[in-house]
Amino acid sequence: MNFKDKLVLITGSSRGIGKATALEFLEQGAIVAINGRSKGSVNETIEALNFGDSLVSAPGDVSTVKGCESVVSTAISGLGGLDILVNAAGILYATSIQESSEEIWDQTLNINLKGTFFCSQAALPYLKESGGNIINVASDAGLIGEKDLAVYCASKGGVVNMTRAMALELAPEIRVNCICPGYVDTDMIRRDFIDGSDDPESAENEILNYAPLKRMAKPQEIAKAILYLASDDAVNITGSALQIDGGATAGH
C-alpha cells in the first residue's frame, strides 16, 4: 500500500486508534492532519510522532457543525487538499439505561455520529476533487447490542448504517466504508473498563474472554485495516462494515 504524498485528515488522532492510524499513514509516505480537542494534545502528538513537515495541526471539537467545519478547513489549509478522511473521534460511556442522562446521550451522539456526518459533509468538495474516500470508525457495538452500552450502540449503529447510505449517494466518485472493532487495547479501554473498575484483574479477564479469539486487538491492527480500506487495493469496496472483533459478532 503506497500512500506517498497522499493528504489525510484523521479526527480523534491525538490518541488511541486515531493516533495509531496516523503513524501507519506517515510510515507509508502520507501527509497527515492531526486532530484533537485542544492545541496542546495535538502538539504533543505531533511531537511524539516526529515526522516533521509531514504533519499538520488541525485541533478542534467535532461535536458541533461549526467545529467540524473549522477542523476540516484548518486541515485543508495545512494539507493543500484532501485524499482521505478518517473519522476516528469517539467517546464511550458504560452506563445502564437508567443511569444514562441527556448529557451522556448528547455528548455520545454529537461526537460519534454528528461529528462523523458533518466532518464528511465539510470534506466532500475536496474528496470529490481528488476522487478520495472516507473511513468511519464504528464498533462491533454498532452491529450487536451490548449490556450497559445502549447509548453507545445507538451512536455506532448510526455510523454503520449512515456509512452504507453515504456510500450509495457518493458512488462512484467517493468510496465510504467503516470498520467495526471489538475491544482494542487503548488508554480509553484501560481507563474506563479495567483500571477504573473495582477489580481490574477480573475486568481485564472478562474483556479477554468476551470474543472467541480471547484477546484484545492492538491499535495498530485496526490502523492497518483502515489503510487497506483507504488504499487502491480496496478500489471495489464501498458501503462495507469490516468486523475486527475477534469473532464477537459471529454468533453463539
* Catalytic residue chosen out of the listed positions 126, 152, 183, 210: 152
C-alpha cell at 117: 456526518
The total of other beta-carbon atoms located within 10 Å of residue 31's CB is 22
Residues near 37 by beta carbon (within 8 Å), at least 6 away in sequence: 14, 59, 60, 61
C-alpha cell at 66: 461549526
Is 152 labeled as catalytic in the residue annotation?
A: yes
**Cα–Cα distance measured from residue 38 to residue 15, given in angstroms and rounded to the nearest whole number:** 12
**Cα–Cα distance measured from residue 100 to residue 88, given in angstroms and rounded to the nearest whole number:** 23
203 to each of 49, 54, 126, 219, how far by Cα in Å? 31, 39, 44, 19
Sign of the dihedral through C-alpha 177, 38, 188, 47:
positive
**Cα–Cα distance measured from residue 22 to residue 39, given in angstroms and rounded to the nearest whole number:** 17
C-alpha cell at 87: 473519522
Residues near 148 by beta carbon (within 8 Å), at least 6 away in sequence: 94, 95, 96
The total of other beta-carbon atoms located within 10 Å of residue 183's CB is 22
Burial of 237 (0-12, 13-18, 19+ CB in 10 A): middle
The catalytic residues are: 152
